[in-house]
Structure 1
Amino acid sequence: MRRRTPLTLLVLAGLAALVVTVLVTVTIGPADLGVAEVARSIAGHLGLPVEAVPRLHDAIVWDLRLPRVLTAAAVGAGLAIAGAVMQSLTRNPLADPYLLGLSSGASLGAVAVLVVGVSLLLPVAAFAGALLALVATLALARSGSTLSPARTVLAGLAVSQMAAAGTSFVIFWSSTGDSYREILTWLLGSLAGATWTSVAIAGIAVVVVGAVLVLSATRLDAFAFGDTSAAALGIDVDRTRWTLMTVVALLTGAMVAVSGAIGFVGLILPHAVSSLTGPAHRRLLPVAALSGAVFLIWADTLARTVFDPRELPVGIVTALIGVPVFAFLLRRGKGSAWT
């Protein structure tokens, strides 16, 4: 049996990669910034005694780029955790955080406020839409039977299609002028409007909800062997699945509220990371979170710089990267859980 890399080493390596990624990506852009200057700007705002940074450069770092980079880190971590948990609860390697119709529900809520010009309410409307989609999915899956993985997936698909139809109707009926571009950018996923409020929403959700899910690692491991085996281990399968799916929905709703629907992060990262950590969620979840954070920061950096001064929605970049990676993992996984 191949020995696994110690979890402590993986986490320390992930943290080091994340810190370096944050410092380097904040320097990337039209302004001539260096890593040392970025570090001094951050240290100065944290109250540490360092040499002052020119005011313009300090504003670029602290008010523009750093909130966006940290929001990308939090969203990437949250989506990776949510994807890993959903794949376990549904025993479906193709599951992602949006399986329960959350993305479509959030999109419907967001588009509804964008077309009426109340963009300040976008995070609230997106989060509310995601929660309503969750309630509809779980109610439909629960009706007349237990909450099985297959019924949950089918219910999520139905709710997702209904919400997507509602979104299309709202856009067709009400959208005019430049609102089309704003709506399309949000639907494809974008971190362009990230602020320190976005950092707080996504960061708190990842820390609080992520901790709850990591503490549930043993129960998540039990689901890998099926509902019967999990019940034999003393787990209330139906109640646990309801609870953890609700927790994942809260996490996903917070991520979608600040970034829109960014695909492939929650689908690909858990599979890629599991080759290093193994399937145990106590190891998988923290490493997936760090990997998702680093991945989305770099993806967003590409989105905002490759075609400068024009900017791509980050969801396009994650799809362009995610599809070939998914194909590679699918090819390599012949005969395993992928089949």
Structure 2
Amino acid sequence: MKLALGLAVLILSVGLAVSVGAVSIPLGTVGRIAAHHLFGWGGVDWSAGRENIVWQIRFPRVLLAGVVGAGLATVGAALQSVTRNPLADPHLLGISSGGAFGAIFALMHTGMVLGPLTVPAFAFVGALGATLLVLGLAQMARLKSADRLVLAGVAVSFVIMAAANLLLFLGDPRASHTVVFWMLGGLGLAQWSHLIWPLAVLVPCGVWLWRQSRALDAMSLGDETAATLGLNPGRFRLSVFVAAALMTGVMVAFSGLIGFVGLMVPHLVRLGLGHANARVLPGAAVLGALLLIWSDTAARLVIAPEDLPVGVVTGLAGGVFFLWLMARRD
């Protein structure tokens, strides 16, 4: 029931988010434009300018925000279970930074050598490399506590972002403005053609993680418990990290660095739905989509008609939430 209500709110939020902006468009007009394009229903009783704003600019942006928010929140929920770490999320563990490094390398130094797949592919490789680096450092240093694993991720994130800044410095100055905005998190360049790639990753990886809900529940109880239930903890943890790197890398490739969504949302979902991952994962996807849609809407409205990077909005909210979470754990 709660999930169905969340989906209904999500659908309504998409329409409302498309309707608001520097140019306000009635929700009814938004619905008629969408129905006309999707099903050919109704006559055209709106201007070409409004149709372009709704269908070509705002709809792709809002839908991309929803897909990216769902993906990052799902990754955060899975990482927190598989690492038994309530502070785990793709941003704090350095996965997002690795994805950003790969995307910047592709955008500014290689060109589109793989066509449309270039940036997502390089972002995935970067995210996976950062993931393996964090796991390798944790294994070498025998970092067993959750807090120390996060510290290892933060350290790796700083190093990778320093390397990304070096790539930015050495690249074409004419492209630096776009890349800097992208590094802060931005959805303003969204197009319909962009949606296929994050969707093609979110759906299969999200379904696979959901099907592993019982295994994730077992991992959250510890490796010994998981082993007694027939799991290979090391192999399963690695498979979850690979899925997390794939999802994060592709999301980062199209949205830039958006932090704290994966940290905040799973905790909020657990407050309302409990700790069973069969409910937490789909709940996190819905709430993550809602959070990023409205964060991006706020970013469009704060200094309209200019766009504020959405990463600024989520970073502000996430920083406050992080401090609350740390205080609550104490």
**Alignment TM-score, normalising by the size of structure 1:** 0.86
The one-letter amino acid of 1:169's match is L
* 319 and 151 in structure 1: CA distance in 2 versus 1, 3 angstrom threshold: closer
Residue 240 of structure 1 and its aligned partner are, at CA, apart by: 0.8
Aligned to 2:19: 27
Residue 84 of structure 1 and its aligned partner are, at CA, apart by: 0.7
**Where in structure 1 are there 5+ consecutive unaligned residues?**
1-8
Is it true that 1:269 corresponds to 2:265 in the alignment?
yes
The one-letter amino acid of 2:129's match is L
| 1:259-290 superposed Cα distances (whole Å, 9 cap, x missing partner) | 01101100011111110011110011111110
- Of 133, 140, 143, 2:130 maps to 133
| 1:38-90 superposed Cα distances (whole Å, 9 cap, x missing partner) | 11111111124223243322221111100000000000011111001111111
Higher mean C-alpha deviation, range 67-76 or range 151-160: 151-160
User: Is the CA contact (8 Å cut-off) linking 2:121 and 2:250 kept in structure 1?
Assistant: no
Is it true that 1:56 corresponds to 2:52 in the alignment?
no
Quick one: percent identity of the two aligned structures?
42
Structure 1 Cα separation of the partners of residues 154 and 143 of structure 2: 18
User: Is the CA contact (8 Å cut-off) linking 2:99 and 2:248 kept in structure 1?
Assistant: no
* 53 and 100 in structure 1: CA distance in 2 versus 1, 3 angstrom threshold: farther
Structure 1 Cα separation of the partners of residues 139 and 235 of structure 2: 11
Is it true that 1:247 corresponds to 2:240 in the alignment?
no
Higher mean C-alpha deviation, range 206-215 or range 42-51: 42-51
Aligned to 1:292: 288
* 146 and 28 in structure 1: CA distance in 2 versus 1, 3 angstrom threshold: closer
The one-letter amino acid of 2:57's match is L
Structure 2 Cα separation of the partners of residues 38 and 165 of structure 1: 43
Is it true that 1:43 corresponds to 2:35 in the alignment?
yes
Residue 301 of structure 1 and its aligned partner are, at CA, apart by: 0.7
- Of 284, 301, 308, 1:305 maps to 301
- In the TM superposition, 1:98-117 aligns within 5 A as 98-116=91-109
Residue 249 of structure 1 and its aligned partner are, at CA, apart by: 1.2
User: Is the CA contact (8 Å cut-off) linking 1:18 and 1:293 kept in structure 2?
Assistant: yes
SS at match of 2:195: helix
Aligned to 1:66: 59
Is it true that 1:90 corresponds to 2:83 in the alignment?
yes
| 1:86-127 superposed Cα distances (whole Å, 9 cap, x missing partner) | 111111111102354322222222323444595875444333
**Alignment TM-score, normalising by the size of structure 2:** 0.89
The one-letter amino acid of 1:171's match is L
Aligned to 1:229: 225
User: Is the CA contact (8 Å cut-off) linking 1:74 and 1:202 kept in structure 2?
Assistant: yes
User: Is the CA contact (8 Å cut-off) linking 1:90 and 1:150 kept in structure 2?
Assistant: no
Between the two proteins, the alignment pairs up a number of residues equal to 325
Aligned to 2:311: 315
Higher mean C-alpha deviation, range 231-240 or range 110-119: 110-119
- In the TM superposition, 1:124-203 aligns within 5 A as 124-138=121-135, 156-157=153-154, 159-174=156-171, 176=173, 178-203=174-199
Residue 187 of structure 1 and its aligned partner are, at CA, apart by: 1.2
User: Is the CA contact (8 Å cut-off) linking 2:69 and 2:288 kept in structure 1?
Assistant: yes
SS at match of 2:51: helix
Structure 2 Cα separation of the partners of residues 240 and 78 of structure 1: 20
Residue 131 of structure 1 and its aligned partner are, at CA, apart by: 3.1
Residue 138 of structure 1 and its aligned partner are, at CA, apart by: 4.7
- Of 8, 11, 22, 2:3 maps to 11
